[in-house]
Structure 1
Amino acid sequence: MARSLDGLVLSPVADQAPGQVGTATRFAYHEEDGRIWADYAGGDVVRGHLLGTREGDRLDFRYVQLKRDGSTASGHCVSTVVDLPDGRVRLEETWEWESQEGSGTSVVEEPPS
């Protein structure tokens, strides 16, 4: 199993569609006893939260966010935790909005030191 996410800050490696998370977004992760949660903000997102579970290298969580235009959105994401060769952590994600149309994939990882 990949190392704990507790205390890690991750960011997307590419921008998503306008109004969603992007390279300016930062996720501050916490993990305890198979539970994960994170707060995130940056770019078009004023504030976001995610909450879910971890089994091995698989995360399953729901997210909700407030965007700069005052709208809110929520969805579901399943991620795989990957240890990169240089020791950083990457999450390979498949997500789907529940409050609006849309789905996709994304990658977030620890920024290089």
Structure 2
Amino acid sequence: MAGSLDGLVFSPIADQAPGQVGTRTRFTYHERDGRIWAEYAGGDVVQGHLVGTRAGDRLDFRYVQLKTDGATSSGHCVSTVVELPDLRLRLEETWAWESQEGSGTSVVEQLP
């Protein structure tokens, strides 16, 4: 199992569709006793939160966010924690909106 996410900051390696999480978004993760949560902001996201669980290298969480245009949105994500050769962590994500249409995959990496 890869190391703890607690206190680590992650950023997407590529931009998603307009109005969503992008390379300017920063996620600050917390982890305790199999629970994970994070705050995130940046780019088109004014404020976002996620909360869920970790079992081994699998994260399962719900997220909700407020965008710069005042719209809110929410969804579900399952991620795999991968340790990179330089010992940073990567999250390989499969997500789906619950408040609107759409789903996809993304990758976020721990900032150096």
Instruction: Pick the TM interval, shorter chain.
Output: over 0.9
Answering whether residue 68 of structure 2 is matched by residue 65 of structure 1, we say no
Q: Quote the offset at 1:18 in angstroms.
A: 0.3
Q: Which residue of 1 aligns with 2:101?
A: 101
Q: Quote the offset at 1:110 in angstroms.
A: 1.0
Q: Which residue of 2 aligns with 1:7?
A: 7
For residues 39 and 74 of structure 2, the distance between their equivalents in structure 1, rounded to whole angstroms, comes to: 14
Give the counterpart letter for 2:31 in structure 1: E
Structure 2, unpaired ranges of 5+: none
Map of 1:12-91 to 2, 5 A cutoff? 12-91=12-91
Please list the CA deviations of residues 58-79 of structure 1 after superposition, one character each: whole Å capped at 9, or x if unmatched.
0000000000000000000000
- Report percent identity of matched pairs: 82
Paired residue secondary structure (1:69): coil
Give the counterpart letter for 1:16 in structure 2: Q
For residues 81 and 58 of structure 2, the distance between their equivalents in structure 1, rounded to whole angstroms, comes to: 6
Moved over 3 A (4+): none
For residues 101 and 22 of structure 2, the distance between their equivalents in structure 1, rounded to whole angstroms, comes to: 18
Paired residue secondary structure (1:41): strand
Structure 1, unpaired ranges of 5+: none
TM-score, length basis structure 1? 0.98
Paired residue secondary structure (1:47): strand
For residues 48 and 70 of structure 2, the distance between their equivalents in structure 1, rounded to whole angstroms, comes to: 13
For residues 37 and 110 of structure 2, the distance between their equivalents in structure 1, rounded to whole angstroms, comes to: 16
Paired residue secondary structure (1:100): coil
Number of aligned residue pairs: 112
